[in-house]
Amino acid sequence: MNIAALEKIALSVRALSMDAIQKANSGHPGLCLGAAELGAILYGELLRHDPSDPAWADRDRFVLSAGHGSMFLYSLLHLSGYRDMSLDEIKNFRQVGSRAAGHPEYGLAGGIEATSGPLGQGIAMAVGMAVAETMLASRFNTPSHTLVNHHTYVLVGDGCLMEGVSAEASSFAGHYGLGKLIVFYDSNKITIDGSTDIAFTEDTAKRYEAYGWQVLSGSMYDFEEIAKLVSQAKAESKKPSLIILKSIIGKGAPTKQNTADIHGSPLGAEELAAAKKGLGIEGDFYIAPEAVEYFKTRAAELKKIRESWKAEFEAWSKENPEKRKEWDQFHSGKVLPAQLPAFAQGEKIATRTAGNKALQAVAAANLNLVGGSADLKGPNAVGLPSDAGTWSAANRRGRYIHFGIREFSMAAISNGIQLHGGLRSYCATFMVFSDYLRPALRLSALMKQPVIYVFTHDSIYVGEDGPTHQPVEHLASLRVIPNVRVLRPADPEETACAWVMAMDNHSGPSCLALSRQNLTVFPKDDPDWKNTIRTGAYIVKKESGGQADLVLMATGSELGLALEAAQLALAKKPELKIRVVSVISRELFESQPAAIRETVVPPGCRVIACEAGVHSGWERWARPEDIFAIDRFGESGPAARAAEHVGFTAEKLAERCLAG
Amino acid sequence: MNIAALEKIALSVRALSMDAIQKANSGHPGLCLGAAELGAILYGELLRHDPSDPAWADRDRFVLSAGHGSMFLYSLLHLSGYRDMSLDEIKNFRQVGSRAAGHPEYGLAGGIEATSGPLGQGIAMAVGMAVAETMLASRFNTPSHTLVNHHTYVLVGDGCLMEGVSAEASSFAGHYGLGKLIVFYDSNKITIDGSTDIAFTEDTAKRYEAYGWQVLSGSMYDFEEIAKLVSQAKAESKKPSLIILKSIIGKGAPTKQNTADIHGSPLGAEELAAAKKGLGIEGDFYIAPEAVEYFKTRAAELKKIRESWKAEFEAWSKENPEKRKEWDQFHSGKVLPAQLPAFAQGEKIATRTAGNKALQAVAAANLNLVGGSADLKGPNAVGLPSDAGTWSAANRRGRYIHFGIREFSMAAISNGIQLHGGLRSYCATFMVFSDYLRPALRLSALMKQPVIYVFTHDSIYVGEDGPTHQPVEHLASLRVIPNVRVLRPADPEETACAWVMAMDNHSGPSCLALSRQNLTVFPKDDPDWKNTIRTGAYIVKKESGGQADLVLMATGSELGLALEAAQLALAKKPELKIRVVSVISRELFESQPAAIRETVVPPGCRVIACEAGVHSGWERWARPEDIFAIDRFGESGPAARAAEHVGFTAEKLAERCLAG
């Protein structure tokens, strides 16, 4: 180990971070200064990656869970040779258009493995990456060739470890024995409010031991010790490792180090000058020549490592052409067509159940689809074909994941699986508990990760479990997240389409809203509905004769209600020209050109919108009084009675149709 | 201890639960049968409460965190004499209108201390109740009179302990040494997916020790042992206690006990008959006469205990008339008027900062207002007047709470403080992280608890921190939760009003959306605006001459933008009659009678809605093209540049005004 060079790398991380943050007049120097030594050894010695090929499948992953310390990462990406992260980007830190954004953003530059900043989620995503590694290793490695064999490193701070999501993910990681997960804890005992003594005095080491982790500790400022600890972590193949590194926040800032002041504000001109003087830094955006030199050599070594992997990959490909084909399909993200289930007109099945048939078909065709539920495998109906197996410490080839009752980390882990590459992930819970995982869903959306969320029990028709389990605001609240596709199929046939639409959506997460209760397969007047539905809406029942004077727009289980109401209304007023439209995805429909929208909903025509949830968002389509919605919490009772109680019946909807 | 009677109580809990669930054909017998013995000793021996006065301030609290086992609670409430929970209610279990709802719902019956079911939140709310107890005890107890001195008991299952929110709350409780919190862990090793071995094998006892708890364990089926463990728990005054009770899920169901089948489904006629036979239960909804007899005696004892407390209370009141006045004010929920801060026209202050001035004023007048932030005391600007002090193990009288970086449990704990009675709670984080606490906010809303949520950094004007920290969908997603009042003041003066509106809102939680950036105090054309604003919206700038032909509706920081845009538009087209309306609470405004709404927004008049967030919900007021919104994630950069980047400028808004 070239300690002198590592020291110069650390120095350069400090210099770049301080200057970039000062120039931007915004940012978080605390971690960058405090953990610079870890960064130096990580990028200088430990990481098996290749800056010239950031997408190399078998690279080690590093996730900066404490994402506010983004300049730590950017400095190291630049120093180690990631071309995306030029010095100009760093000089534009936190400016519009810079790859060196306020927090690390996935997609902006090679080497950024995940968007982080929302605390606790980075470590949970890293857990997902480690899950993916085991799955791919067991599938593709052969006795003679090891193609998948890498570690996932994470850097967390006190904040990450206080968040519940990290607790869930860590319990999960311990249970499943993720031996290639190595978490560094930058233990500087300072948060924004001051000393951690104020609110966080638990024995974190003991807690992680309780999760089944190997817990090690040492000093942030002893390279040899860190190297030794990482060796120990790598040697323990059955347990994830937590390496607690005692550190000083803002180390190098003469008066502000070891105080909360240095966490999230620039040093200021005076402190910066003093820091530079103390550290022996001259000029701005200083990079030590020794660091440059060191990384030049290191880059060549790393390139060789990656090239030798490539050679092995080619040899393996020759010996295993079928596996290679599968590898390519897995890593292309391409979706293979499935033998979708068929349903008979009039058949009554819950869309969650129909969804399971579709999932099984899609999963049989796409062997890289993996996932599971937060302890609701049966109720969510998200089991995989039996030959898919259950993923566990004993069966890394399994594809079904029992996440435990840990919704938030389930979603974050699913993000991590997806980010890793090679796999497509889905996860499931009751729709009302989409709230529990919402922050991770937001990150799926922000990172444009096509995780599929299966949300069953999607309305007050949940019934007896009552308002704590009956979503009313959730369709609306999911729809407002940018890049999220909400799909609420109205019958079993639509459900099969919905699964395909979700699989084909690569621009962000999809949320399937599925019913607990049985829905009837209804006839569709649009003969081309299986294509039209991909615009978000189509005509289920066309008005008879002349132009429609009323369009009933409904989603999910309310389509059946709308059909029934239309019939009731027509019985009373046969001259009415009612059209019934199924809206499987309102956002998608709204994003269509006017010409397409107007084919389905004629402009100027009166619309009644019908959905068992809050009215919000339907105002675009219908007058407030023509939104047949539920703007209150539900009530515990058998589904039909609960719906009746809140005035949600076909009779009432028919009355609305008849009222001017 | 009358063990024979306790056994009969447990038997009656089993009988009532099995029958009610069977009759409803819905429910969760697993916990009711498995933990009946704990219920028997809890309500038969341990709880210091008075069923004839469920609101008695110094009662012990019991929270069924595993809320799906609701019949456990209902059975015991009925047996112990809570009048609300009649046998008829139990016979109507899970039917519309029954107090015996699917999950325990706060407000439906005396003795239900919290709505539970969403896992992990019950224990967190109980932590809040224990916090409140310490605060009130330190404030009202005197050397000669102890008025506040009760325990908070909780029953959790595996699910609660897997959820991250319980981890956060438990770390919090350990740190703060909540010695009067006693948590029973119904450790039956079964969840919906099967054995906990599938996904949950951590050493929970060790984990709780790491949090600083006393951890005890024993058998669910040994009354004397439970009594002994509770004595130990009570004897430890500096640490919360976790009592792990090894149990058998569904105990008494001959073939289904100890399986996942019994968790959440009725036994079925056959199993039920066999269970009854095995337990010696005859008839339906059986209650053992010994249990009735026992509780008759017990009720009299408990009434005496409460009466002797009442006598002490009266004596204390005589000696401490000032304290008594304060006690009454605290417990009435009445809000005292505050000396609100004044701001000068043209003054520039961030509304978070103005909010802090208002909070300090309101808190100075209302000594029962307590709360804090999730490690963002400074950035959220939610400090209390310095004489309020900081709550800690050493200072139970303190009112400011350092919650740590634990948003979700912060909100659940705030619910618990509020539910306890006597205190008003507030909590704070960045608006984007309202997602982290959303499930608890939903419970505030469902329980109609007037917790005040302070969400600062309320738009992309957060700037450099970037899209992970810039809310865009959050105003919309908060507004859709029933019973939630979102208040987004447009300048410092409105902010002071917003705090008063929040304090005066007793029908549910209020969310204050406050800016990071400075906003200018603007002149208001409506001379009565301080009253009009309480309708949710008022006229800031009236059109000059004639009838308005354009209304600009804006919220928060966008009001300033709207004023600027109106000026720009008028400069180009002076004949325009533009009205600018500040909408502090859209939902509130929408709930007004038409006559009031139309005074502010004339019917038929073109409206442009302006808000730095997604358009959803504004369609009621403006055509899609007239909603000046941000339907995408933001970008990292200085606030003005970030806004410009997404096309959010006064110039663009002015163009919209001028376009048809």
Residues B281 and B136 in one domain: yes
**Mean pLDDT, all residues of chain A:** 97
Residue A88 lies in a domain: yes
Residues A84 and A140 in one domain: yes
Residues A539 and A514 in one domain: no
- Taking an 8 Å cut-off on Cβ atoms, the answer to whether B642 and A96 are in contact is yes
- pLDDT (mean) for A257-275: 96
- pLDDT (mean) for A610-620: 96
pLDDT tens digits, residue range A371-390?
A: 999 999 999 999 999 999 99
Question: Which residue on chain A is closest to B403 by alpha carbon?
Answer: A199
Residues in chain B within 8 Å Cβ distance of A617: 616-617, 619
- pLDDT (mean) for A436-452: 98
| Exposed/middle/buried for residue B252 (C-beta within 10 Å: 0-12, 13-18, 19+) | buried
CA distance linking residue A514 with residue B93, whole number of Å: 26
- pLDDT (mean) for A469-475: 98
Residues in chain B within 8 Å Cβ distance of A463: 26
Chain A window 79-138: which residues touch B at a Cβ cutoff of 8 Å? 94-98, 101-103, 105, 115-119
Residues B112 and B239 in one domain: yes
**Mean pLDDT, all residues of chain B:** 97
* A7 close contact with B: CB closer than 8 A: no
Question: Which residue on chain B is closest to A392 by alpha carbon?
Answer: B198
Question: Is A71 a residue whose pLDDT tops 90?
Answer: yes
Residues B103 and B210 in one domain: yes
In angstroms, what separates the C-alpha of A130 from chain B's closest C-alpha? 16
- pLDDT (mean) for A312-316: 98
* B466 close contact with A: CB closer than 8 A: yes
A95, A376, A620 member nearest B619 (Cβ): A620
Question: Which residue on chain A is closest to B157 by alpha carbon?
Answer: A405
- Taking an 8 Å cut-off on Cβ atoms, the answer to whether B405 and A614 are in contact is no
Task: For B130-164, give the secondary structure using H, E and C.
Answer: HHHHHHHHHHHCCCCCCCCCCCEEEEECHHHHHCH
- Taking an 8 Å cut-off on Cβ atoms, the answer to whether B375 and A409 are in contact is no
Residue A226 lies in a domain: yes
- Taking an 8 Å cut-off on Cβ atoms, the answer to whether A636 and B96 are in contact is yes
A101, A203, A635 member nearest B210 (Cβ): A203
Residues B440 and B462 in one domain: yes
Residue A527 lies in a domain: no
ipTM of the complex: 0.98
Residues in chain A within 8 Å Cβ distance of B101: 466, 635-636
- Taking an 8 Å cut-off on Cβ atoms, the answer to whether A103 and B439 are in contact is no
In angstroms, what separates the C-alpha of B145 from chain A's closest C-alpha? 31
Residues in chain B within 8 Å Cβ distance of A473: 480-482
Question: Is A12 a residue whose pLDDT tops 80?
Answer: yes
Q: Which of B176, B620, B632, B648 best probes binding to A when mutated, by most A CB atoms within 10 angstroms? A: B620
pLDDT tens digits, residue range A204-222?
A: 999 999 999 999 999 999 9
Residue B340 lies in a domain: no
Residue A525 lies in a domain: no
Q: Which of A520, A554, A588 delimits the end of a domain?
A: A520
CA distance linking residue A142 with residue B246, whole number of Å: 45
- Taking an 8 Å cut-off on Cβ atoms, the answer to whether B95 and A632 are in contact is no
- pLDDT (mean) for B234-239: 98
Residues B470 and B562 in one domain: no
Check: CB of residue B512 under 8 Å from CB of residue B355.
yes
Residues in chain A within 8 Å Cβ distance of B373: 193
- pLDDT (mean) for A325-329: 97
pLDDT tens digits, residue range B429-452?
A: 999 999 999 999 999 999 999 999
Cα angle: B494, vertex B495, B498; to 5 degrees = 90
Tell how strand B452-456 and strand B424-430 pair up: parallel
Predicted local confidence at residue A545, as pLDDT: 83
H or E stretch including A520? Answer: strand A518-520
Check: CB of residue B350 under 8 Å from CB of residue B515.
yes
- pLDDT (mean) for A417-431: 98
Residues B541 and B431 in one domain: no
- Taking an 8 Å cut-off on Cβ atoms, the answer to whether B637 and A95 are in contact is yes
* B632 close contact with A: CB closer than 8 A: yes
Confidence of residue A201 (pLDDT cuts 50, 70, 90): very high
- Taking an 8 Å cut-off on Cβ atoms, the answer to whether A201 and B175 are in contact is yes
Question: Is A85 a residue whose pLDDT tops 80?
Answer: yes
Predicted local confidence at residue A216, as pLDDT: 98
Task: Please give the positions of B annotated as active site.
Answer: 407
Residues A477 and A595 in one domain: no
Tally of domains in chain A: 3
- Taking an 8 Å cut-off on Cβ atoms, the answer to whether B480 and A476 are in contact is yes
- pLDDT (mean) for A101-113: 98
Question: Is B386 a residue whose pLDDT tops 80?
Answer: yes
Q: Which of B237, B269, B303 delimits the end of a domain?
A: B303
In angstroms, what separates the C-alpha of B627 from chain A's closest C-alpha? 11
Residue A480 lies in a domain: yes
Residues A100 and A235 in one domain: yes
Q: Which long-range contacts (CB under 8 A, 24 or more apart) does B139-144 make?
A: B139/B326, B139/B397, B140/B316, B140/B323, B140/B326, B140/B327, B142/B316, B142/B319, B142/B320, B142/B323, B144/B316, B144/B319
Residue A317 lies in a domain: no
Residues in chain A within 8 Å Cβ distance of B402: 193, 198-199
Cβ neighbours, 10 Å, residue A537: 25
CATH number at residue A545: 3.40.50.920
A203, A373, A466 member nearest B103 (Cβ): A466
Confidence of residue A660 (pLDDT cuts 50, 70, 90): confident
* B464 close contact with A: CB closer than 8 A: yes
CA distance linking residue A90 with residue A21, whole number of Å: 9
- Taking an 8 Å cut-off on Cβ atoms, the answer to whether A168 and B164 are in contact is yes
Predicted local confidence at residue B545, as pLDDT: 83
Question: Is A488 a residue whose pLDDT tops 90?
Answer: yes
Q: Which of A108, A119, A170, A193 best probes binding to B when mutated, by most B CB atoms within 10 angstroms? A: A193
Chain A window 238-257: which residues touch B at a Cβ cutoff of 8 Å? none
B191, B200, B620 member nearest A619 (Cβ): B620
HSE on the CB side for B315, CA within 13 Å?
13
Residues A381 and A512 in one domain: yes
CATH number at residue B492: 3.40.50.970
- pLDDT (mean) for B324-333: 97
Question: Is A28 a residue whose pLDDT tops 90?
Answer: yes
Q: For a pLDDT cut of 90, what percent of chain A falls above it?
A: 99
- Taking an 8 Å cut-off on Cβ atoms, the answer to whether A477 and B472 are in contact is no
A407, A436, A464 member nearest B94 (Cβ): A464
Residues in chain B within 8 Å Cβ distance of A481: 473, 477
Confidence of residue B660 (pLDDT cuts 50, 70, 90): confident
Rounded to the nearest 5°, which phi and psi values hold at A313?
A: -60, -45
* A212 close contact with B: CB closer than 8 A: yes
Chain A window 582-611: which residues touch B at a Cβ cutoff of 8 Å? none
Give me the sign of the Cα torsion angle A389, A390, A391, A393. Answer: negative
CA distance linking residue A416 with residue A413, whole number of Å: 5
- pLDDT (mean) for A125-146: 98
Rounded to the nearest 5°, which phi and psi values hold at B319?
A: -75, -25
Question: Is B60 a residue whose pLDDT tops 80?
Answer: yes
Q: Which of B496, B520, B544 delimits the end of a domain?
A: B520
Residue A224 lies in a domain: yes
Residues A248 and A370 in one domain: no
3-state secondary structure of A383: coil
Question: Is B454 a residue whose pLDDT tops 80?
Answer: yes
3-state secondary structure of B374: coil
CA distance linking residue B613 with residue B628, whole number of Å: 9
What is the residue range of A141's domain? 3-303
